[in-house]
Structure 1
Amino acid sequence: MGFIDRAPLFSCPDWWEKLQRGETPMAEVPVNKAKAKKALAFFNRLRLPDVPGNPRLAEACGDWFRDILVAFVASEDPETQQRLVWELLCMVPKKSSKTTYTAGLALTVLYMCDVPNGQMLLIGPSQNISARLFDQAQGMIRLDESLRQVFKVQDHLKTITRYKTGTAIEVKTFDTSIVTGEIPLVTIIDELHELGKKNGAQQVMQQIRGGGITMTGGQLLMITTQSDKEPAGIWKSEIMKARAIRDGLSGPRPIMLPVLYEFPEELQKKEEFWRDRENWPLVLPNLNLSISRERLEDDYQNNGRISPETEQIWVSQHLNIEIGLGLHSERWNGADHWTAAARPDLTLEEIIETSEVCVVGLDGGGLDDLLGVAVLGRHAETKVWQHWGKAWADRGVLELRKSIAPELLDLEAAGDLILVDNLDLEAHPEIVEICQKLREAEKLPEEDGIGMDPEGVASIIDALIDEEFEIEDIRAISQGYKLNGAIKGAPVKLKNGSLVHCDQPMMRWCVGNAKAETRGNAVIVTKAKAGSAKIDPLMAFFNAVQLMSWNPVAATKKTFTYTGM
């Protein structure tokens, strides 16, 4: 049985133990020793162009990156002599010299490649990052007379060509047309997480990966810090895939080698753990090379801790704490208990069937907002409150709020969010249909079964009246401090298990966006980030909680007959 047949390939179940021992958190990968030796000899001779004295990478680079270099360049099944690592994803904190090291790796790959007249891509998500990648690579060449005889540098084209083969590295800024008609031999992407904020990144990645199925093959290396916002788009899918491979939960023959410098999820959720500076070195492989602990601690004290928002961004960049896991102190405290209250198998149909009474909350609906609906049912036997939500948005929000477009598209793919061209014609009829379904099941109370923020809902009220709902069915829910009871009461029920939900990605996103503010004796919930951090479906949930807290009784009780699990 060859190495490649052993499952699970590239899994590293002891990755956390390796980090604690100061080792690279990656699986053991067999390599061609001759290729590895040649690659290391070339890489180690390169000099840092922007550091006094221009030290060689032999002294200035951490061993962790050399492990990555060798695995990417020289992996080989010992029995079949076939390449094993076709893709590699490394997540490492900011200030780890990853851009400089990546430029050196790109030159090494170009030097090692014997394919004639091929193309390699070195991609940055912005002009600044791509310019720095090129500057570092060409700077290394110009510091070494012998390398100037090996490589041709064309500054105006941001291209470096190996004279012997004619194969070139082109340094480019990410664009959706970047690889049209091209089949690169190797693609290297710096700051992959930034592509999670760009529309069309998935399609570009598919084109890049298309080169991997040709006879000559195509390698892909991605290196990045964690995102400074909740993972979305291509970054979300890639980091989830990498973690699954690392944890042995992927298929038997993955082609990606993950190297992730991060704390385990349960520790990312413990603020007292990652705030303890003694734990920081565990995820800082370049400590004492490109960054000092003293400077890092001073930066945290003076810049990272000035507000909860800045701290959240700081730890995401310097400690790879994922936004949405390491939550800040101004979060709505129901966020602490949201995950534990999840019932992934719960559906709207089950809620209707098992509940003795149901209420509906609504919120939002402008062209720049989500229109959220919440159904909250009280279980006929256990009295547990059961929540299901859904949202709609005008398709134009993808342009109005480009920064969250990838998240919205992810939520659309999950089925929680529906993008429409006309809210009145497409969203409102579905909301009315949900209310009708509850009425036909005799689960709505005689009065106050539908609650909503009174602002901007006239057309929804008209749609309900047109379908013979009475004005008594609809209750205006006062917002702000008057919603304090629901905002404070819901976390209690989430914690004690008397409120459960369907574990919908949309609601997780909204809960993560929510910021709690104290106003006198009341707590109100607002957006953590004005404009882009949508919470409308969560506000619809609070409206439903407010209605249910009045202990409603269904207009006509119905015998409990549900027999499902």
Structure 2
Amino acid sequence: MPNLSRPDWEQRIRAGQSLLPDVQPVNPELAAKAVKIFDKLRIPDVIGQPTFGEAAGDWFRAIVSVLLGSLDPVTKERLIRELFLLVPKKNSKTTNGAGLMMTAVMLNERPNAEFLIVAPTKDIADLAFKQASGMVRADRGLQRRFHIQDHIKCLTFRPTGATLRVKAFSPDVMTGVKPAGVLVDEEHIIALKSDAESVMGQIRGGMISQPEAFLAIITTQSDKPPRGVFREDLLQARAIRDGKSHREADDGALIPVGNGILPVLYEFPGKIQQPAKLPGEQAPWEDVRLWSMVLPNAGRSITVKRLEEEYENARAKGIQELARWASQHLNVEIGLALRSDRWVGADFWLSASDPDLTLEALIDRSDVIVAGIDGGGLDDLLSLAVLGRDRITQEWMHWGKNWVFEGILELRKREASQLKDFETQGDLIIVSTPGDDIEQLADVLETVDMSGKLALVGLDPMGVGAVVDALAVRSISSPRVVGVSQGWTLSGAIKTAERKLADGTLVHGARPIMGWAISNAKVEPRGNAIIITKQAAGYLKIDPLMALLNAVTLMSKNPSPPEGGRIDDFLKGGMLSA
């Protein structure tokens, strides 16, 4: 099996060199033939319809050579079974992909072989078929060798009977198909679908019986934090590129990386990918001089000058549009999906992260701890926020845990893959039996209470009876368990949290589920106050954030540990309000 790593990729991408691994095609004659076929294809939507040989970049020609030339001439087994290409928009992604598949069809020797282009939407599928069929219509020789069936988006190569079909992504895309080659376009969009993991599994499973089969994934970065099957394929491709035999899972376990996967990722090195430290400042990737690193087709289908104009327009529209633009045109990975009506604290969230902050570390460093609880309905997350006060620096430290009833995965299909990611990352527990979530939450708080530092537990007073009972069994009860008023009365906690995030005195464990919840939050003015409510968020979940705000309300009262004797002083008057 060839070594497909490129551990020196950062130096090479800075120097504008090839990102492909240092391997030679196992079948050089077949590789040369593939490039020859590819170069003769005409680009149908460019003035003059030049050939790929005249207009395509060497970067993609090299991919055609390495991937299609990896078929062992003796065993007829393909040694490179997958391609993962991450490339920004306007770099001829769809056109090059169509050219790759047309080349594969004509190179294929298996009678009646089946090739597929799978697109996330009908519009993208239509575009892919238009490009592939356009290549046939632009060449008289190909017109004689191919039969075009526009109504079913199918091209048949007459000499072998091989077909190239273009389909929109759906659960039945693989019905009755044993593909010799599949191209998946824009996997980051496909990953948003609830059945994405299952269908991608079917595609890979359908290739097993064909030793020469290959899967090519060609995609841009996601305009939201990567999730689902796209996130998994992206992480695996990065691990292979970096020369790792294993990659670390979200729970710390080591996962072997796949063999036979060709990773080609046009993305900035980590330091350049970083967001701006403060709102209004420029991020490292906003330096126009760096953009050519991730634009392999610069000077052909796109120019840096054109991107500069689009960048200025996006920046003028605000941080939300700028982040979306950067993800699509520069492959900048979004850490937090920001909204135009977002909570101000979201702008400072990423800069306030401490990935080493575990619950154990929080307990050890704190002189006092409070906890906030939110949610718990069968359509909600049950969220726990533990907030500690550092005994030396006095900064506030946040750690969280969440639970959800398994029925929500069926009820909220659009968020199912995201919730499964959080489960894998260890921040969300999916329970099958109602009540298990409350018992497990109470167990966590019992562990915290054993430190002798748990001063208060605050929660929405509506529908909390079962939680209060579970805590009482563990000797956590009134006066330490209190109701926290919701709605506009949380305005003080909202403003306190955003100020402390901005000045660096509130830190958190950099957990993706909190970033997701904060991305979902909408701020609404209410008189002289501001509110963040579940009603405003709609179907999007903000329970982890609401739990944090409940905890902030308590910590704002400057509590002491239970044995300090000061808790009753500010509990007089009953329910706490912000």
Q: Give the TM-score range, shorter chain.
A: 0.7 to 0.9
Q: Determine if contact 1:390/1:416 at 8 Å carries over to the other structure.
A: yes
- For 2:334, which of 299, 304, 323 is the aligned residue? 323
Alignment partner for residue 41 of structure 2, among 46, 50, 54? 46
Say yes or no: does 1:297 pair with 2:297: no
Provide the C-alpha distance between the structure 1 equivalents of 2:64 and 2:513, rounded to a whole number of angstroms. 39
Q: Report the alpha carbon displacement of residue 65 of structure 1 after superposing the two structures with TM.
A: 1.2
- Report the TM-score, using the length of structure 2 for normalisation: 0.82
Contact kept in structure 2, 1:269 and 1:325, CA below 8 Å: no
What is the one-letter code of the residue matched to 1:373?
Answer: L
1-structure distance, mates of 2:350, 2:364: 29
Quick one: which amino acid aligns to residue 24 of structure 1? S
* Amino acid in the other structure paired with 2:263: P
Q: One-letter code of the match for 1:27?
A: P
For 1:486 and 1:323, locate their aligned partners in 2 and report how far apart those are by CA, in whole Å: 23
Cα contact 2:339–2:519 (8 A) shared by 1: no
Partner of 2:19: 25
Within the alignment, does 1:152 sit opposite 2:147 as a pair? yes
1:323-349 superposed Cα distances (whole Å, 9 cap, x missing partner): 10798995635424344x2226x346x
1:272 paired with 2:267, answer no
Deviation readout 1:2-33 (Å, 9 max, x if unpaired): xx37xxx2111222222223233221221133
1:236 to 200, 223, 231: 231
Which residue number in structure 1 is paired with residue 513 of structure 2?
506
Relative distance call for 1:440 and 1:226 in structure 2 (3 A) is closer
Find the counterpart in structure 2 of residue 12 from structure 1: 6
Structure 2 residue 267 is matched with structure 1 residue 262: yes
CA change 1:369–1:60 in 2 (3 A) is: farther
Distance 1:512 1:263, change over 3 A: farther
> Would you say 1:335 and 2:343 are equivalent positions?
no
Which of 308, 311, 314 is matched with 2:325 structurally?
A: 314
Q: Which residue of 2 aligns with 1:427?
A: 437
In structure 2, how many angstroms separate the alpha carbons of the residues matched to 1:215 and 1:537?
Answer: 47
Instruction: Give the 3 Å change call, closer, same or farther, for CA 173–328 of structure 1 in structure 2.
Output: closer
Q: Residue 121 of structure 1 contacts residue 169 of structure 1 at CA under 8 Å; is this kept in 2?
A: yes
Q: In structure 2, what residue type is equivalent to 1:474? A: V
Distance in 2, Cα, partners of 1:203 & 1:133: 23
Q: Is the contact made by 1:269 and 1:327 (CA closer than 8 Å) also made in structure 2?
A: no
Letter of the 2:454 partner, please give it.
L
Taking a change above 3 Å as real, the CA distance of residues 158 and 82 of structure 1, as seen in their structure-2 partners, is closer
Note the alpha carbon deviations across 1:339-395, whole angstroms, 9 max, x for none. 4x2226x346x7567865432112344666533211234577997755431123455
* 1:111 CA displacement: 0.4
Report the AA paired with residue 283 of structure 2: E
Does structure 2 conserve the Cα–Cα contact (< 8 Å) formed by 1:510 and 1:535? yes
Cα 1:133–1:411, aligned 2, differ >3 Å: closer, same or farther?
A: same
Cα distance 1:331–1:39, how it changes in 2: closer, same or farther (>3 A)?
farther
CA distance in 1, matches of 2:395, 2:319: 34
TM-score by length of 1: 0.84
Question: In the alignment, what sits opposite 2:576?
Answer: none
> Are the equivalent residues in 1 in contact too, given 2:521–2:537 (CA < 8 A)?
no
Output the CA distance in 2 between the equivalents of 1:96 and 1:225: 10
CA shift for structure 1 position 231? 0.2
Match of 1:539 in 2: 546
Conserved? CA contact 1:494–1:500, under 8 Å: no
Kindly provide the CA deviation profile for residues 180-219 of structure 1, in whole angstroms up to 9, marking residues without a partner as x.
4532111111111112101122222222222454362421
Distance in 1 separating the partners of 2:436 and 2:337 = 37
Q: Residues 121 and 303 of structure 1: is their aligned pair in 2 closer, same or farther, counting only changes over 3 Å?
A: same
- Residue 28 of structure 1 aligns to a residue whose secondary structure is coil
Residue in 2 aligned with 1:561? none
Matched, 1:221 2:250: no
Distance 1:152 1:204, change over 3 A: same
Question: Which residue number in structure 1 is paired with residue 386 of structure 2?
Answer: 375
Contact 1:89-1:223 at 8 Å conserved across structures: yes
In 2, the alpha carbon distance for the partners of 1:321 and 1:520 equals: 38
Asked if the contact 1:86–1:212 (Cα under 8 Å) also holds between the matched residues in 2, the reply is no
Task: Name which of structure 1's ranges 486-495 and 32-41 shifts more when overlaid on structure 2.
Answer: 486-495
Equivalent position to 1:359, from 370, 383, 389: 370
Q: Shift in Å at residue 505 of structure 1?
A: 3.6
Query: In structure 2, what residue type is equivalent to 1:541?
Result: L
Identify if the C-alpha distance between structure 1 residues 275 and 351 changes in structure 2 by more than 3 Å, giving closer, same or farther.
closer
Distance 1:331 1:253, change over 3 A: same
The aligned residue for residue 95 of structure 1 is: 90
| Aligned CA distance change for structure 1 residues 533 and 238 (closer, same or farther; 3 Å) | same
Match of 2:155, SS? strand
**Counterpart secondary structure, 1:289:** coil
2:193 is matched with 198
Q: Tell me, yes or no, if structure 1 residue 62 matches structure 2 residue 39.
A: no
Would you say the 8 A contact 2:490–2:549 is kept in 1?
A: no
| 1:553 is aligned to 2:560 | yes
Structure 2 residues not aligned, in runs of 5+ = 247-256, 276-281, 565-578
Shift in alpha-carbon separation, 1:491–1:371, aligned structure 2, 3 A = farther
Partner of 2:428: 417
Alignment deviations for residues 14-55 of structure 1 (CA, whole Å, 9 cap, x no partner): 222222232332212211332122112211111122222222
Query: Over the residues paired in the alignment, what is the CA RMSD in angstroms?
Result: 3.6
Which residue, 460, 474, 489 being the options, matches 2:482?
A: 474
SS at match of 2:386: strand
Change over 3 Å in CA distance of 1:374–1:215 after alignment to 2: same
Query: How far did 1:135 drift?
Result: 1.3
C-alpha offsets along residues 37-94 of structure 1, whole Å, 9 cap, x if unaligned?
2112211111122222222122221221111111111136899996432111111111
Taking a change above 3 Å as real, the CA distance of residues 535 and 385 of structure 1, as seen in their structure-2 partners, is same
Distance 2:234 2:82 in 1: 13
Distance 1:104 1:215, change over 3 A: closer
Checking the alignment, whether the CA contact within 8 Å between 1:312 and 1:328 is kept in structure 2 is no
Q: Provide the secondary structure at the position in 2 that maps to 1:362.
A: strand
User: Which amino acid is 2:326 matched to?
Assistant: V
Provide the C-alpha distance between the structure 2 equivalents of 1:294 and 1:71, rounded to a whole number of angstroms: 32
Distance 2:444 2:233 in 1: 36
- Aligned to 2:551, what secondary structure does the other structure show? helix
Residue 173 (1) aligns with residue 168 (2): yes
**1:460-519 deviation per Cα after TM superposition (whole angstroms, max 9, x unaligned):** 566468757225631415412444223322554558xxx564x54423444565689999
Q: 1:119-160: CA deviations, max 9, x gaps?
A: 121111111111111111111111211112222222222221
Q: Is the 8 A contact 1:26 1:259 kept in 2?
A: yes
Distance 2:436 2:469 in 1: 12
Taking a change above 3 Å as real, the CA distance of residues 398 and 244 of structure 1, as seen in their structure-2 partners, is: same
Change (3 A) 1:338 1:272: closer
User: Which is worse superposed, 87-96 or 547-556?
Assistant: 547-556
In the other structure, the counterpart of 1:162 is 157
Matched-pair contact (CA < 8 Å) for 2:490–2:553: no
Aligned equivalents of 1:285, 1:63: Cα separation in 2: 9
Give the AA of the match of 2:331.
Answer: N
Q: SS of the residue aligned with 1:149?
A: helix
The percent of aligned pairs where both chains have the same amino acid is: 40
Question: Are 1:114 and 2:125 matched, yes or no?
Answer: no
The residue matched to 2:454 in structure 1 has which SS? coil
1:37 counterpart residue number: 32
Distance of 2:81 and 2:221 partners within structure 1: 22
Report how many aligned residue pairs link the two structures. 538
* Secondary structure at 1:262 match in 2: coil
